[in-house]
Amino acid sequence: MSSKEELLKRLGINLDSETLHLSLTHRSYSYENGGIPTNERLEFLGDSILGFCVAEHLYQSFPDLAEGDLAKRRAAVVSTRALASIARELEIGKHILLGRGESQSNGADKSSILADTMEALIGAVYLSHGMDEARQMVMRFIGPLLSDPLLLGAATDWKTVIQEEVAATKNGEMRYAVTGSGPDHARSYVAELLIADKVYGTGSGPSKKEAEQEAAHNTWNMLHPGEDLPAN
């Protein structure tokens, strides 16, 4: 069994080789190979299908939830973080066609690229097999996240939450201290959130943004033990 066949088996889908190739073609690879078609149009389509399928499921499954709560749940499961996590479990990264620069900078594990590729694959399934197959694929991988107790927390912009709280309480100036390590193609970052020069939460990740988000979330947990989410 070829690596592409193994990927399709893990995904539980069937795509012809041309469509699969297109869904895995990043723009950096296209740029270095004569401007061949990329997966961006499929990504656009898949993003819309993903959002619709999740919204439809939430609407039918949670008749008592208000619009705002439905929107939060949808945002959580269609987020870059959630889609990238699924893609990593499926080992999609090693199949993505990347240009030399992206390959050398560990593009196969970048959350944005992984999430975009997941959306492209959803779009490809829709074009090849229709809405029912696309919906089944979405719910196969996204469905389990809808029962995750940390679902809403995953969708929360913790940096904004903490910034607003610090501004309201006037506890002092807030800032992040971020350090990076490792080679250029595999950098990792550690962020510390300081309020009035006192260190609160710390976080780590493959990008400064992700490290800062984790530091902000951990700061919230320190300031509000036992509370997973800020009050509405």
**Annotated binding-site residue? 184:** no
CA distance 25 to 39: 5
For residue 194, the 8-state DSSP code is E
**Annotated binding-site residue? 6:** no
Burial class (CB in 10 A: 0-12, 13-18, 19+), 229: middle
Structure tokens given for 120:
């492209």
CA distance 112 to 194: 28
Query: Among residues 16, 32, 40, 47, which one is catalytic?
Result: 47
Query: Among residues 119, 192, 210, 212, which one is catalytic?
Result: 119
Give, in order, the Cα–Cα distances in Å from 117 to each of 107, 121, 167, 224.
Answer: 12, 6, 38, 36
Q: Is 147 strand, coil or helix?
A: helix
181, containing H or E segment: strand 174-181
**Annotated binding-site residue? 116:** yes
For 18-51, give the DSSP string: HHHHHHTB-HHHHHHTTS---SHHHHHHHHHHHH
214 is catalytic: no
- Sheet containing 188-195: which strands, arranged edge to edge? 174-181, 188-195, 198-205
Those residues whose C-beta lies under 8 Å from the C-beta of residue 33, and which sit 6 or more positions away, are none
173 is catalytic: no
Q: Which residues are catalytic?
A: 47, 119
Annotated binding site for Mg(2+): 43, 116, 119
